[in-house]
């Protein structure tokens, strides 16, 4: 299914809804947005079943308990919320290689998969090294009026812009 001429949801509406959700999350559950720990904990759950002896010797999982908790529901909500947004805006499509990527790097699914996997590994490593992800540090910190939260958001945006410009070298309009 090809996207319609509709450009999706208004960024103002999406931002306002995100703000309402984070306020409700903090108010009703006492938890702020965050997702990177979910992946570490879920990996720990699987590893405890697959390699229990190895798992028992890992100090990391003594600090970060391998449990399925509210963050799993949060991550599932991100998945289903994105699907709902795409479907309701008539922009949903199954596409292995985004057009902009194909124009810049070619149609190779292997190259796209390796780049996506490598980017995910780097991002997750950075998130765990920092003790949290952009949503936790940036949105959660900003909601608490923390200078570190605003600093994190600014740095995430600058980093995203630099990487996009480096990868695509202004080809978004070509």
Per-10-residue mean pLDDT of the chain, 174 residues long, equals 56 87 85 80 90 90 86 88 87 88 92 93 84 78 85 88 84 52
Query: Angle at the Cα of 142 (from 67 to 132), degrees rounded to 5?
Result: 30
pTM: 0.69
Q: How much of the chain is helix, strand and coil, in % rounded to 5?
A: 70, 0, 30
Q: How far is 45 from 170, CA to CA, in rounded Å?
A: 43
Place of tokens 């960024």: 11
pLDDT number for residue 4:
43
Among 80, 60, 81, which residue's Cα sits nearest to residue 18?
A: 81
């Amino acid at each position: 299914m090809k996207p319609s001429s509709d450009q999706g949801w208004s960024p103002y509406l999406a931002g306002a809804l995100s703000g309402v959700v984070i306020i409700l999350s903090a108010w009703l559950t006492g938890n702020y947005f965050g997702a990177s720990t979910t992946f570490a904990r879920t990996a720990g759950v699987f590893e405890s079943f697959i390699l229990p002896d190895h798992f028992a010797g890992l100090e990391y999982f003594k600090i970060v308990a391998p449990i399925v908790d509210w963050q799993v529901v949060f991550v599932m909500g991100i998945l289903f919320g994105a699907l709902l947004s795409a479907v309701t805006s008539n922009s949903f499509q199954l596409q292995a290689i985004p057009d902009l990527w194909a124009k810049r790097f070619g149609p190779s699914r292997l190259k796209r998969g390796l780049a996506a996997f490598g980017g995910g590994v780097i991002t997750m490593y950075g998130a765990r090294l920092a003790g949290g992800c952009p949503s936790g540090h940036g949105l959660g910190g900003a909601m608490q009026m923390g200078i570190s939260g605003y600093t994190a958001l600014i740095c995430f945006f600058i980093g995203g812009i630099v990487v996009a410009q480096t990868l695509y070298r202004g080809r978004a309009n070509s």
